[in-house]
Structure 1
Amino acid sequence: MNDSTEHPQYETLLHDALHAHVQQSGGDAAGTCLAGLADGALRVARRRQRLARTGVGVAAVAVVATAWVAVADGAPFRAHTVQPAAEGGTGRAAAVSLLPVTSSKERACTPGSGGYTVHATATGPALCVRADRARGMTDVRVTSAKAEKSASDGAWQVEVTLSPADRTRFAAFTGSLAGSPAPRNEFAIVIDGKLWGRPYVASSITGGRFEIVGAYVGDLTSTTAHDLARRLDPGR
């Protein structure tokens, strides 16, 4: 019989030893916590054994790692449970729309009016941005997204590359905005219902790439830029 189907000897020995320690120490709080950890480890080991017998891969089991810290006698026992971070992406890409801006006013939008409110920051006032969804690009497909610092001003940004099919749509879309008076020469970058940027267009963008810098340049930090890139490209 191989290791995957052997009864969990190590965990059983650890379980019995810790429970013996608790009995010898009179069942103090620290010992009780350690015994609880041993019980949990044994349950996990037995579950792994059952899964191995039914042919379920170990990789499909979400294991919770328990960390504990030994402290001096008389000090309270402290333990915490750490859930491992998910490997790879979330599996679901964020919903992206690129919409032509129709108006931009320096005030928050009236609730229920359909506009996108940009809250005031250190770099700019509050704005109410309205966009035309009917003339925009919805269900935009992103092939890659990466967080990086701008070579020109050092601000964090996310560079987005569109799918080949959407590059053609994007070139026609941006070409229709070029030459219009502000703010109609801008497009709203809407991700999961939130406005993340409103770049202006000088001419048709044919390369299928654009940058997200936030509602105002300098809004993104390293953390928010990397988080946004992962949401746009969950396979990273």
Structure 2
Amino acid sequence: MNDSTEHPLHETLLHDALHAHVRENGGHAAAPYLVGLADGALQVARRRQRLARAGVGIAAAAVVATAWVAIADGATQHAHVVQPAAGGAGNTEKAALISILPVTSSTEHACTRGGGGYTVHASATHPAFCVHADRARGMTDVRVTSAKAEKSTIDGTWQVEVTLSPADRTRFATLTGSIAAAPSPRNGFAIVIDGKLWGNPFVTSSITGGRLEIVGAFVGDLTSASAHDLALRLDPGR
């Protein structure tokens, strides 16, 4: 499905215009507010469009949050972000599922056709590589209890933090504990969503907190838009 059906034109134009302004005036003090407004408008538009496709009406009235931002030429404009009111109708679409699979091999080339594995295509910064994982030993079709997009406090890159249910938290701790002492790359696990590799982290000990961060195949792969979109797809409360 293309972007024109994912969110209304107004929010698309607002998102693109605000992000373009931030790129052109990156050092301006209002830049963080512009980015937040753009991302919020786009996220709300996606949610509203999903509700419309599912035939679900929004029961409660929407509230409008208005922020004043100073732009580079000294003029002042209004930027409007519409947020659903508390108690609005929920999304009836099912949230996407995650599979967490222990890695068996990782090689620097695309996977061969019919050979299984998950291909990460080459980019300007890294070669293509193929990851094979063991579904029999892994956690398949896991529904998380929450998902949120956020910026790393360490390097400022975007990531999606997901929280597992108590039962899956125990399974995850057992899985990560079982691979922690293995040699690389078998001390890593593949995060697979909709048949695509979204992460390949390595562990040195059991992870008992029930939380994991999705950063993409490589740190820095996610943008603000892609992180928020992924979090919306995974969050059962969307």
| TM-score of Structure 1 vs Structure 2, range by shorter chain | 0.5 to 0.7
Query: What are the equivalent positions in structure 2 for 1:116-195 lying under 5 Å apart?
Result: 116-195=118-197
- For residues 30-75 of structure 1, the C-alpha deviation after alignment (integer angstroms, 9 at most, x for no partner) is xxxxxxxxxxxxxxxxxxxxxxxxxxxx949xxxxxxxxxxxxxxx
Larger Rg: 1
Alignment correspondent of 1:198: 200
1:93 aligns with 2:87: no
1:226 aligns with 2:228: yes
Cα distance in 2 for residues equivalent to 1:154 and 1:98: 25
Q: Does the aligned pair in 1 maintain the 2:145–2:163 contact within 8 Å?
A: yes
Once the two structures are TM-superposed, the CA of residue 141 in structure 1 deviates from its matched residue by 2.3
Cα distance in 2 for residues equivalent to 1:59 and 1:134: 42
SS in 1 for 2:139: coil
Query: What are the equivalent positions in structure 2 for 1:34-53 lying under 5 Å apart?
Result: none
SS in 1 for 2:226: helix
Q: Does the aligned pair in 1 maintain the 2:144–2:236 contact within 8 Å?
A: no
Q: Does the aligned pair in 2 maintain the 1:88–1:234 contact within 8 Å?
A: no
Number of aligned pairs? Answer: 156
Cα distance in 1 for residues equivalent to 2:223 and 2:162: 17
Q: Does the aligned pair in 2 maintain the 1:186–1:199 contact within 8 Å?
A: yes
Q: Does the aligned pair in 2 maintain the 1:171–1:206 contact within 8 Å?
A: yes
Alignment TM-score, normalising by the size of structure 1: 0.62
Cα distance in 2 for residues equivalent to 1:59 and 1:218: 37
Q: How high is the sequence identity, in percent, across the aligned residues? A: 77
| Change in 2 beyond 3 A, CA 1:108/1:59 | closer
Q: Does the aligned pair in 1 maintain the 2:200–2:217 contact within 8 Å?
A: yes
Once the two structures are TM-superposed, the CA of residue 125 in structure 1 deviates from its matched residue by 1.2
Once the two structures are TM-superposed, the CA of residue 121 in structure 1 deviates from its matched residue by 2.1
Structure 2 unaligned regions, length at least 5: 1-55, 59-83
Structure 1 unaligned regions, length at least 5: 1-57, 61-84
